[in-house]
Amino acid sequence: MNFDHILFIASTDCFGEKLFAERSTADLVEIKRITREQTLTLMGDNSDYYYDSDFSQERINKTKNALLQRLSALNNGHSILGKFSELESISNKQISTKRLHPLRLIKDICSQLYWLNTNDFQVEICDALLEAAIQAQSLGLPLDVETYPGWDEVDAAWEQASSDWDCYIKSIMRDVPDGLCAVFNDLYNSPLSLRHLYSWKKGLPRVQFLTLMRAIEDEAFMQMNKTNPDYALLVRAAMQQFHE
């Protein structure tokens, strides 16, 4: 998996709306528009992604940077970039081999704050933060992402996808017909997913939700910064999606 696959997934009708389900309709329209334009730029006159593409890291980074620059210009650009950062961290095998993964640390901090196990926290445990955590307890702690849809449902959905754009993506990836299914499954059903935080966003007053997010982000950043400053920046990047 490389960033191209995230680009393709985001552009589809079949998978894109599921992967970015938390975004507004207006955001989804813009994400699709930009990712589709970038896909066409990537493919040019070519018709077979696996046969015709340049798979050098330089080219992949160029494609990624061009996409992220365009997304950053949207009204909710920084929040959208946060979601893409989360997806990239999930897909990055180099990061996933590390014992302390940025996303896993975020989830660990969520759990500790939820249970008020904060004796070792570096952030200030103020009354507002305690009240927000107590309110979150009433919503539960859905840290374990349900593996749904499962592989059979994902594969069937892609096989039945019939929009013009999804058929185009199928055609350029025809050498590995179920390749995008595997990518979507790995991203959506990853145990590193931060999707659970959106249940808190829906159930808490905005001020309390943002209080929790700031504390979780700052604590995870400070803990990660002690061992890997580069990965600490990934904490900041992924948590951008909760800033709006």
Task: Say if residue 169 is in the same domain as residue 122.
Answer: no
Asked if pLDDT for residue 135 goes beyond 70, the answer is: yes
Task: Say if residue 46 is in the same domain as residue 29.
Answer: yes
Task: Say if residue 11 is in the same domain as residue 57.
Answer: yes
Q: Is the peptide bond preceding residue 142 cis, with omega within 30 degrees of 0? A: no
Number of domains in the chain: 2
Q: Which of 238, 153, 156, 148 is nearest to 197 (CA)?
A: 238
Cβ distance 181 to 67 under 8 Å? no
Mean pLDDT, rounded, for 170-175: 94
Task: Say if residue 167 is in the same domain as residue 134.
Answer: no
Mean pLDDT, rounded, for 128-152: 83
- The Cα–Cα gap between 181 and 201 comes to 28
Please report whether residue 109 resides in a domain: yes
pLDDT for the residue numbered 146: 62
Task: Say if residue 7 is in the same domain as residue 118.
Answer: no
Please report whether residue 56 resides in a domain: yes
Task: Say if residue 112 is in the same domain as residue 136.
Answer: yes
Task: Say if residue 226 is in the same domain as residue 131.
Answer: yes
Asked if pLDDT for residue 161 goes beyond 70, the answer is: yes
pLDDT for the residue numbered 98: 54
Task: Say if residue 19 is in the same domain as residue 41.
Answer: yes
Cα separations in angstroms, 199 against 100, 108, 136, 142: 25, 17, 10, 8
Cβ distance 14 to 166 under 8 Å? yes
pLDDT for the residue numbered 177: 87
Tell me the two tokens of residue 90: 């999930």
Per the structure, the complete domain to which residue 123 belongs is given by 102-144+195-242
pLDDT for the residue numbered 141: 82
Task: Say if residue 207 is in the same domain as residue 163.
Answer: no
Task: Say if residue 114 is in the same domain as residue 153.
Answer: no
Asked if pLDDT for residue 97 goes beyond 60, the answer is: no
Please report whether residue 81 resides in a domain: no
Task: Say if residue 152 is in the same domain as residue 233.
Answer: no
Task: Give the lowest-confidence range in 59-73, 141-155, 170-184, 210-224.
Answer: 141-155
40 exposure class (CB count in 10 Å sphere: 0-12, 13-18, 19+):
exposed
Asked if pLDDT for residue 244 goes beyond 80, the answer is: no
Mean pLDDT, rounded, for 42-46: 93
Q: Which of 96, 47, 41, 78 is nearest to 63 (CA)?
A: 41
Instruction: Give the total residue count for the chain.
Output: 244
Model confidence, pTM: 0.92
- The Cα–Cα gap between 37 and 40 comes to 5
Tell me the two tokens of residue 77: 């650009």
> Phi and psi for 167 in degrees, rounded to 5?
-65, -35
Asked if pLDDT for residue 99 goes beyond 90, the answer is: no
Please report whether residue 90 resides in a domain: no
